[in-house]
Amino acid sequence: MNDSATNETQAGTDAAGDEKVKLLSRGVKVFYGDKQALFDVDLDINENEVTALIGPSGCGKSTYLRSLNRMNDTIDICRVEGDIILDGDNIYDKAVDVVHLRARVGMVFQKPNPFPKSIYDNVAYGPRIHGIATGKEELDGIVQTALEKAGLWTEVKDRLDAPGTGLSGGQQQRLCIARAVAVSPEVILMDEPCSALDPIATAKIEELIDELRENFTIVIVTHSMQQAARVSQKTAFFHLGYLVEVDETEKMFTNPSDERTQGYITGRFG
Amino acid sequence: MTDATTMNAVSGSGLRKSHSGDIVKASLKRRYAAEKRFRAYGIAAILFALSMLAILFSTIIGKAVPALTQTMIQLEITLYPQDIDPDGTRDPDVLSTANYRKLIRQAMFDLFPDVTSRRDKRQLYDMISPGAVFTIRDQVLKDPSLIGQRMTFQMPMSDDIDQLNKGAIRADLPESERRVNDKQIAWFKRLESRGIVETVFNTTFFTAGDSREPELAGIWGAAVGSFFTMMVTLLIAFPIGVLSAVYLEEFAPVNRWTQAIEVNINNLAAVPSIVFGLLGLAVFINFFGMPRSAPVVGGLVLALMTLPTIIIAARSALKSVPPSIREAAFGLGASHLQVITHHVLPLAMPGILTGTIIGMAQALGETAPLLMIGMVAFIVDIPGGPLDPSTVLPVQIFIWADSPERAFVERTSAAICVLLSFLVIMNVGAVLLRKRFERKW
Ligand SMILES: Nc1ncnc2c1ncn2[C@@H]1O[C@H](COP(=O)(O)OP(=O)(O)OP(=O)(O)O)[C@@H](O)[C@H]1O
Ligand SMILES: [Mg+2]
């Protein structure tokens, strides 16, 4: 079921040798109360790559994604078993502080959710709470860089004091990406970031994801096969809580080894 | 799929004489008529409610207006030193206990030399308010050099004469059916014709505490009492209510205990207010020995009563904060407390404030529990702090409404107006506060 990744639990290199594994999952099970939503997921996420998670609705993509930065902790009935290892440290270890973890593993949500504050304050919020910037100028710099990275700077540089909720949907989503980027995380998780956007805004964000790959490791959930094919290097197919198959994106879409993957990709179910 | 096809088949084979468009058209009239009727009912209901409100306000305000004025007499009085300060010490103690009553009586008798019998003399003097002596006393105390001079004092007339002047006591009724007798009416006419009777704005009503004499009674003592009580209520109920709501909504695990607490908070909101008064009496006064009739106890009791309202309102306000905002903040690595203080509470604040003001408005109008803890006592002095004995506006209304004097009727209405304006001020404050917090983005 799993691909050829190593079994080393330390952040190692895989067989190809040139990619470093950033996030390693072994035997991840997630329960909502008595109901099990994920079964023994083993998945390696490489550094500076985009990993796409695909699968039919309700198969557990979001659940898996949210277990990567422990967002599941905010759901009372949710329980996670197994190991998720970020750069050699188990993130579910007692010694790991979620606040620190989430500063390292940022998240962009399905629906754009800017704070009801100014554009500037939206982006500056993360750096502020983590005390990343030492002064106003440094903070200004961080905000500008983040907005530039999110491809939003030229559009909003004259109205940083305007409310973030006043932007268009696509701009709001890029603002949310800027907000996540401003904390300088190592990994950015995106849960269907384009599902509320029109094709043009989607194209912009896809472009952006490709650029962000240089500095960040990205995990993206998507319902669009084309999007997965366009932006990702690696694709993982989930089905009914199981990770069915994971491989190079190109190979997944041309020559999947599992017939369920084949069926899903060609649109026979989903 | 199959269902739809069968249905099509049925309607296709069956009664399709006219297109369904015609059927819809025929029913449209009926539907619009129904809608129109519904609207008419709604408007009628609103008009009914509004007219009731208008009647209420017009009667209360109409009754309250006479309380704004007071009949006064301009009396020339000689401040004989032998009556006020026979030894010439100018000692304030002596000055304040001097027999000013005698001076006023003398001045009245001088005006009516024809009144000789003891009984008539008493009735003549009764036309002046017993509070008139304080008018003179206060001026003498302020400036003792006045002693020995003859000067004019403006003094309140008694409540009955005041009512006569305002037309509330009718001279054309038989003598036995009114509180002012024929002689007094004649004397009053004579005073009027001398031009020494005047009707002035009733400042006493807005500056004095309670009194047995309507013309000396004021609302200020109760207003200050209400203010202190509300302050205590707010200072206790708001923080406790908000903290409880935040804990229950954000931190408390869902288990049998928290469910029991939730049910009981809802029950508490439905407990009759007088029960809180009995609780206050038993716990705060009898057990903790706190002072009777004090705003601090009243405030505590009302805080208990207001707490459930605030908790319920605050919880629903917290609940209505969009989860996406929480997720966004959590996703950036904000701690739970940061999520609450930076995002959830500010967004919930308008709702919390509305709930608080509603609770406070209820508390402001509450009478029954305060009767239990002795705030119904007759208190003349203006309270200087939350520990001083005092009464509150609704209780003052209750006391006056219960008094036999005719002049208290108008004062009751005036006090109701004062209470209502307090409520209006609070509601305006709530709206303003809400506007301030409710940034429209
Ligand atoms: N908060 C929750 N409480 C209980 N069950 C949940 C919760 N969230 C998700 N689940 C269940 O877990 C399973 C996986 O859900 P998940 O949201 O991960 O699916 P998904 O793959 O993201 O679907 P979609 O593509 O529709 O977003 C589903 O069966 C869902 O009902
Ligand atoms: Mg999902």
pLDDT in tens, B250-274: 888 888 998 999 899 989 888 998 9
Asked if residue B111 is part of any domain, the answer here is yes
Do the chains contact at A115 and B343, CB–CB below 8 Å?
yes
Q: How much is the pTM?
A: 0.81
pLDDT in tens, A103-155: 999 999 988 999 999 999 999 999 999 988 888 999 999 999 999 888 889 99
Please indicate, yes or no, whether residues B157 and B226 belong to a single structural domain of this protein. Answer: no
The residue from B201, B230, B252 where one domain ends is B201
The whole-angstrom separation of Cα B219 and Cα B392 is 9
Q: Is the CB of A74 under 6 A from ligand 1?
A: no
Q: Is the pLDDT of residue A10 over 70?
A: no
C-alpha of residue B247 to centroid of ligand 2, in Å: 29
In chain B, how many domains are there?
A: 2
Please indicate, yes or no, whether residues B165 and B241 belong to a single structural domain of this protein. Answer: no
Q: Is the pLDDT of residue B24 over 90?
A: no
Label residue B49 by pLDDT band (50, 70, 90): very high
Q: Which of B238, B236, B244 is CA-nearest to residue B262?
A: B244
Do the chains contact at A113 and B328, CB–CB below 8 Å?
yes
Asked if residue B21 is part of any domain, the answer here is no
Asked if residue B60 is part of any domain, the answer here is no
Please indicate, yes or no, whether residues B184 and B230 belong to a single structural domain of this protein. Answer: no
**pLDDT score recorded for residue A268:** 67
The whole-angstrom separation of Cα B385 and Cα B290 is 14
Label residue A84 by pLDDT band (50, 70, 90): very high
Asked if residue B357 is part of any domain, the answer here is yes
Among B258, B327, B332, the strongest candidate for a mutation testing the A interface, having the largest count of A CBs within 10 A, is B332
Write out chain B residues lying below 8 Å of A166, CB-based.
Answer: 441
Backbone phi, psi, residue A256, to 5°: -70, 150
The whole-angstrom separation of Cα B336 and Cα B346 is 15
DSSP A162: S
**pLDDT score recorded for residue B115:** 87
pLDDT in tens, A169-205: 889 999 999 999 999 999 999 998 888 778 888 888 8
Q: Is the pLDDT of residue B198 over 60?
A: yes
The whole-angstrom separation of Cα B317 and Cα B241 is 13
Is the CA virtual torsion B55, B59, B62, B65 positive or negative?
A: negative
Please indicate, yes or no, whether residues B192 and B299 belong to a single structural domain of this protein. Answer: no
Residue nearest to atom 8 of ligand 1 (CA): A63
Please check whether residue A59 is in contact with residue A240, taking contact to mean a CB–CB distance below 8 angstroms.
yes
Please indicate, yes or no, whether residues B183 and B153 belong to a single structural domain of this protein. Answer: yes
Burial of residue B196 (number of CB atoms within 10 Å: 0-12, 13-18, 19+): middle
Burial of residue B369 (number of CB atoms within 10 Å: 0-12, 13-18, 19+): buried
| Residue A74 forms contact with B (CB below 8 Å) | yes
> Average pLDDT of B409-422?
92
| Residue A125 forms contact with B (CB below 8 Å) | yes
Please indicate, yes or no, whether residues B159 and B279 belong to a single structural domain of this protein. Answer: no
**pLDDT score recorded for residue A269:** 60
Please indicate, yes or no, whether residues B113 and B156 belong to a single structural domain of this protein. Answer: yes
CA-based nearest residue in chain A for residue B324:
A113
Three-state SS string over chain B comes to: CHHHHHHHHHHHHCCCCCCHHHHHHHHHHHHHHHHHHHHHHHHHHHHHHHHHHHHHHHHHHHHHHHHHEEEEEEEEEECCHHHHCCCCCCCHHHHHHCCHHHHHHHHHHHHCCCCCCHHHHHHHHCCECCCHHHHHHHHHHHCHHHCCCEEEEEEEECHHHHHHHHCCCCCCCCHHHCCCCHHHHHHHHHHHHHCCEEEEECHHHHHCCCCCCHHHCCCHHHHHHHHHHHHHHHHHHHHHHHHHHHHHHHHCCCCHHHHHHHHHHHHHHCCCHHHHHHHHHHHHHHHCCCCCCCHHHHHHHHHHHHHHHHHHHHHHHHHCCCHHHHHHHHHCCCCHHHHHHHHHHHHHHHHHHHHHHHHHHHHHCCCHHHHHCCCCCCCCCCCCCCCCCCCCHHHHHHHHHCCCCCHHHHHHHHHHHHHHHHHHHHHHHHHHHHHHHCCCC
**pLDDT score recorded for residue B299:** 94
Q: Is the pLDDT of residue B76 over 60?
A: yes
By three-state DSSP, how is residue A248 classified? strand
- In angstroms and rounded to an integer, the radius of gyration of the C-alpha atoms of chain A is 18
* Nearest CB partner across the interface for B327, out of A71, A125, A183: A71
Summary mean pLDDT of chain B: 88
Residues, chain B: 441
The ligand 1 atom nearest the CA atom of A33: 4
The percentage of chain B sitting over the pLDDT mark of 90, rounded to a whole number, equals: 46
Please indicate, yes or no, whether residues B299 and B345 belong to a single structural domain of this protein. Answer: yes
Please check whether residue A11 is in contact with residue A217, taking contact to mean a CB–CB distance below 8 angstroms.
no
Given phi > 0 = left and psi -120 to 50 = alpha, else beta, which region is A21? beta
**pLDDT score recorded for residue B439:** 58
pLDDT in tens, A15-41: 445 678 889 999 999 999 999 999 999
Please indicate, yes or no, whether residues B242 and B328 belong to a single structural domain of this protein. Answer: yes
**pLDDT score recorded for residue A18:** 63
Label residue A7 by pLDDT band (50, 70, 90): very low
pLDDT in tens, B311-364: 999 999 999 999 999 999 999 999 999 999 999 999 998 889 888 998 999 899
Do the chains contact at A165 and B439, CB–CB below 8 Å?
no
Tokens of B378: 């007759």
Q: Is the CB of A129 under 6 A from ligand 1?
A: no
Q: How close A98 comes to chain B (CA, Å)?
A: 7
Which of A53, A63, A79 for a ligand 1 pocket mutation test, highest count of atoms within 8 Å of Cβ?
A: A63
**pLDDT score recorded for residue B358:** 87
Q: What is the DSSP string of A184-233?
A: --SEEEEESTTTTS-HHHHHHHHHHHHHHTTT-EEEEE-S-HHHHHHH-S
Asked if residue B18 is part of any domain, the answer here is no
Label residue A222 by pLDDT band (50, 70, 90): very high
**pLDDT score recorded for residue A5:** 41
Residue nearest to atom 17 of ligand 1 (CA): A62
The residue from B201, B228, B260 where one domain ends is B201
Asked if residue B311 is part of any domain, the answer here is yes
Asked if residue B339 is part of any domain, the answer here is yes
> Average pLDDT of B32-41?
94
The whole-angstrom separation of Cα B346 and Cα B434 is 11
Asked if residue B89 is part of any domain, the answer here is yes
Return the CATH number at B304: 1.10.3720.10
* Nearest CB partner across the interface for B441, out of A103, A166, A180: A166
Summary mean pLDDT of chain A: 87
Please indicate, yes or no, whether residues B90 and B125 belong to a single structural domain of this protein. Answer: yes
Write out chain A residues lying below 8 Å of B332, CB-based.
Answer: 102-103, 106, 125-126, 129, 179-180, 183
**pLDDT score recorded for residue B15:** 58
**B430 Cβ contact partners less than 8 Å away, ≥ 6 residues apart:** B353, B354, B357
Backbone phi, psi, residue A268, to 5°: -80, -25
Q: How close B262 comes to chain A (CA, Å)?
A: 18
Please indicate, yes or no, whether residues B316 and B412 belong to a single structural domain of this protein. Answer: yes
Three-state SS string over A68-121 comes to: HCCHHHHCCCEEEEEEEEECCEECCCCCCCHHHHHHHEEEECCCCCCCCCEHHH
**pLDDT score recorded for residue B14:** 56
The whole-angstrom separation of Cα B56 and Cα B367 is 20
Q: Is the pLDDT of residue A12 over 60?
A: no
Owning domain of residue B123: 69-201
Burial of residue A82 (number of CB atoms within 10 Å: 0-12, 13-18, 19+): middle
Q: Is the pLDDT of residue B10 over 90?
A: no
Please indicate, yes or no, whether residues B351 and B292 belong to a single structural domain of this protein. Answer: yes
